[in-house]
Amino acid sequence: MTEQTDAPTTDETVEPATGRRLRLSVIGTGYLGATHAAAMAELGFDVVGVDVDPAKVAALSAGEVPFYEPGLPELLVRGVDSGRLRFTTDLAEAAAFADVHFVCVGTPQRPGSNGADLRYVEAAFEGLAQHLTHDALLVGKSTVPVGTGARLAARVREIAPAGLRVELAWNPEFLREGKAVQDTLTPDRVVVGGASEWGDDLLRQVYARAVADGTPFIATDLPTAELVKVSANAFLATKISFINAISQVCDKAGADVTVLADALGHDVRIGRQFLNAGLGFGGGCLPKDIRALMHRAGELGADSLVDLMQDVDEINMWQRQRVIDMAVQACGGSVLNRRIGVLGAAFKPDTDDVRDSPALNVAAGLHLRGAQVVVFDPKAGDTGKRIFPSLTYGASTEEAVTGADVVLVLTEWPEFRTADPSALLELTKPGATVIDARNCLPVDAWREAGWTYRGLGAAR
């Protein structure tokens, strides 16, 4: 391992005790870890990122981000070129190198259960603890069920070499895919649970820039920090399911849910964000986090939350069925051998992530009912193909809509919102219907161009 001394140091990156830059490790280099590692190097720290996947480590070491995240490639290249950021598959190397270790590995839903699969988190903490050679702060950033941190802290104490100061804290992450760089460099809050005075000092040093810019630093206990994270996602999910339930009433009553949401949003107690009715939430976080919360709340006997999350999940999943039903209806009762153009595969715009994507779920549902489905997504075609290879993927919006009886807009990419409806209608079968499942198109322009327009809870 070479000593890295060429990069400029700033006061906030230098450890007062040793006079050298604070060294950080980031375990797990997915959306969260890769972004955190690159952002920490950008702030001036020496960082090593660790992943079990050698292909990912090779790509990141070469300055290539193995997924689509705006702004991250530039940040990664700057970090690698500066000599402050490198990647390895060797956890022992990271344990020997860093003072503060951030665990950013995935906590997916356990197969056959609503609970979270904690095996990667446990392996990361246990592996680090085994290999430590000097005092270290182990920081969990992964989203975990409440109670995990306390259990891991006890385990780490058992395993870590005697005589070292080894502590654990939880520092949940609130970044959004598509905005990960901005959210990591300028978070809207820093939450730290379970840190001693020593751990608190180290983390205040890590987040010194944000704190100096006025970002609230909330120091609390482990369970509160763990619960802040899952409650935030549960609240966002609840907001989305609430507006989707209202959109169903709007459909029945002839009201317009978008105008309604705008009007609600003017009330600062409510706010306009996360009130876009449509196909509902997906992705690698919200769905599995509300299920893990449901599961954990059940274990703890907090039954009201179990019921609430169950309803939120059901409303959300029902939106997918609602859009499938709309497509069936637009095809006159059956989609068998009908051509359906699907615009969007990613779970939201500005990402190529298709984990639990509502768009792909609907596309696959129609395909299974015998429709000829052609999907186009500006970034998520390849990732979509990997999990749903049986669908046909077009190379453009035009290719997806050509010959279509019905066109479905399932992810609100800007290029779909700004597409020319007249030009597209020339490519479809005569009298085609567009189902705007994200309520994102300029309705009047599409109607004037001759489309039969259907939105969700869109009276117009």
Which residues contribute to the site for ligand UGA (CB under 6 A)?
143, 173-177, 233, 236, 240, 274-276, 278, 280-283, 285-286, 289, 347-348
Q: What is the dihedral of CA 158, 159, 163, 164, to 10 degrees?
A: -110
Dmax over CA atoms of the chain, in Å, equals 77
| CA quadruple 344, 349, 355, 359: dihedral sign | negative
**Active site annotation includes 440:** no
In this structure, the number of other CB atoms found within 10 A of the CB of residue 131 comes to: 18
Provide the β-strand partners of residue 15.
Answer: none
What are the distances in angstroms from CA 420 to CA 330, 423, 455?
22, 6, 18
Q: How far is the CB of 346 from ligand UGA (least distance, A)?
A: 9
Rounded CA-CA distance 360/120 in Å is: 27
| Backbone angles phi and psi of 124, in degrees to 5 | -65, -50
Residue listed under structure tokens 């705008």: 262
Looking at 250, 285, 331, 440, which residue is catalytic? 285
Cβ 288 vs Cβ 109: under 8 Å: yes
Asked if 79 contacts 47 with a C-beta cutoff of 8 angstroms, the reply is: yes
At how many degrees (to 10) do helices 222-253 and 286-300 cross? 120
Q: 67 or 96, CB closer to ligand UGA?
A: 67
For residue 371, the Cα-to-chain-centroid distance in whole angstroms is 30
C-beta neighbour count of 241 within 10 angstroms: 25
β-strands 406-409, 433-436 pairing: parallel
DSSP state of 134: S
In sequence order, the β-bridge partners of residue 191 are 218
Beta strands 433-436; 452-455: pairing state = parallel
Measured from the CB of residue 71, what is the shortest distance to ligand UGA in angstroms?
A: 14
Nearer to ligand UGA, 12 or 289 (CB): 289
**Strand spans (E) along 10-157:** 23-27, 46-50, 85-88, 100-103, 136-140
3-state DSSP assignment of residue 218? strand
Of 13 and 276, nearer to ligand UGA (C-beta) is 276
**H/E element holding 384?**
helix 381-387
**46-50, strands of its sheet edge to edge:** 85-88, 46-50, 23-27, 100-103, 136-140, 166-170, 190-193, 217-220
Q: Minimum distance from CB of 279 to ligand UGA (Å)? A: 7
Of 176 and 369, the one with the shorter C-beta distance to ligand UGA is 176
Which residue's CB is nearer to ligand UGA, number 142 or number 397?
142
Q: List, in order, residues 6 or more apart from 86 with CB less than 8 Å away.
A: 47, 48, 49, 61, 80
Q: Cα–Cα distance between 197 and 33 in angstroms, integer?
A: 25
Q: How far is the CB of 83 from ligand UGA (least distance, A)?
A: 30
Q: What is the CA radius of gyration of the chain?
A: 24
Just list the catalytic residues: 285
